Structure formats: C-alpha cells, structure tokens
C-alpha cells in the first residue's frame, strides 16, 4: 500500500519503480536488486559462480498475489555438493532413511539417503558392522531410532547453499560406492 492505494494489482515492473523512488537505495542496509531481462540461464550460471543462494524470476507485467503460490514468479536455487562424515543413520518403517552428518567434527544436519536400494542395503550392512555409541558431536537427534556409526563412512551430500547447516539435503552416493 502507498498513500492508501493497494499496489498489488499493478505490474511487478511498476511496483519495483515505485519502490526505487521510495527508498533510493544507497550504501547501507537496504539492498535493491536491479532487474535483468532475458538470459535467464546465463544469469543463473553467474549466480552459481558468485556463490549465491539462487535467483528469483518474475514476469514483469504480473500482479502480486498474496498467499498462494503463483506461476508468475520462480525461485531457482543453487546447490552445493559436500563430502561429509556419516555419524548415524535413522531408519523408520514408512519414512525416508536419513543420514546424520558431521564436517570437521561438528554436526551439520541430516540428509535423505536418496540412492539405489542396492547402495542402501550395502550401507546398512556397513552400519551394522560399524555400530558405535552416540558420538561426541552434539546433535538434536539422540533418539533410539538412530544407529550411530564409527568414523570412516564418507558421503557426497547435495544441499541448498547459504547456511552452514544442511537444508533440503540428499545423499548422492557414498565415496567408496562408485
């Protein structure tokens, strides 16, 4: 709203111009993103190279829709692949199998083990042979449904970029599984 007018029905490009006029961003807290027309793939590649979290794309003539998802805008996220130490496995009937992971001795989160059944079966056999007491890595997961493992199993984990903890993470494979 601006001076009592609901700006949501106005096209995104107009709302953006109004915002610019209101804040006239300078050095400081408010960051105003310039818009780029066309070349979405190249723009995303640049965001990847810069280590950004992702790109938000909007149709320039679209109105703002409160609440519901809208096809007029798209968030394209950037991902990282990390080599992490498996410290535990959580298996529960009817749920995804999850791995608990650490980096440099610090807990970083859990990831869905999204590999083939054959790899999961081989992993489970390794977990059974490498059972251990809960690690000296503080986690929020000290529960009976976690099988803790001795150090030595490393995984390639895909995670959203942007924070030290894993977000929307999935195991891509185990480094010695090929």
Mean pLDDT score across all residues of the chain: 88
Q: What's the rounded Cα separation, in Å, for the pair 154 and 123?
A: 11
- pLDDT band for position 18 (cuts 50, 70, 90): very high
Average pLDDT over every residue of 71-89: 92
Q: Which part of the chain is CATH 2.40.50.140?
A: 79-174
- By percentage, how much of the chain surpasses pLDDT 90? 47
Bridge-based pairing of strands 170-174 and 54-58 is unpaired
- pLDDT band for position 178 (cuts 50, 70, 90): very low
Q: In terms of pLDDT, which residue wins out, 4 or 25?
A: 4
Which of 63-72, 110-119, 126-135, 152-161 comes out lowest in average pLDDT? 63-72
**150, 132 in Cβ contact below 8 A?**
yes
Q: What's the rounded Cα separation, in Å, for the pair 132 and 100?
A: 14
Instruction: Specify the pLDDT at position 111.
Output: 97
Instruction: Specify the pLDDT at position 81.
Output: 94
Q: In terms of pLDDT, which residue wins out, 39 or 111?
A: 111
Q: What's the rounded Cα separation, in Å, for the pair 100 and 146?
A: 9
Q: In terms of pLDDT, which residue wins out, 113 or 177?
A: 113
- For residue 118 the two structure tokens come to 């054959």
Instruction: Specify the pLDDT at position 141.
Output: 67
pLDDT digits (tens, 9 = 90+) for 138-159: 776 677 889 999 989 999 999 9
Instruction: Specify the pLDDT at position 134.
Output: 84
**CATH 1.10.760.10 at 79-174, yes or no:** no
pTM: 0.75
């Amino acid at each position: 709203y601006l001076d009592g007018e609901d700006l949501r029905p106005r096209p995104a490009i107009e709302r953006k111009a109004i915002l610019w006029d209101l804040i006239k961003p300078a050095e400081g807290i408010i960051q105003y993103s310039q818009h780029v027309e066309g070349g979405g793939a190249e723009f995303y590649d640049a965001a990847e190279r810069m280590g950004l979290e992702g790109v938000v794309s909007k149709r320039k003539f679209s109105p703002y829709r409160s609440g519901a998802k809208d096809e007029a805008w798209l968030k394209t996220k950037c991902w990282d692949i990390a080599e992490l130490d498996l410290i535990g496995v959580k298996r529960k009937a009817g749920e995804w199998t999850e791995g608990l992971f650490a980096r440099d001795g610090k807990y970083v989160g859990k990831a869905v083990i999204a590999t083939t059944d054959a790899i999961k079966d081989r992993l489970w056999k390794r977990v059974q042979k490498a059972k251990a007491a809960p690690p000296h890595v503080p986690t929020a997961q000290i529960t009976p449904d976690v099988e803790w493992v001795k150090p030595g199993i490393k995984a390639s984990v895909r995670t959203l970029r942007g924070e030290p903890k894993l977000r929307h993470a999935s195991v891509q494979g185990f480094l010695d599984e090929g």
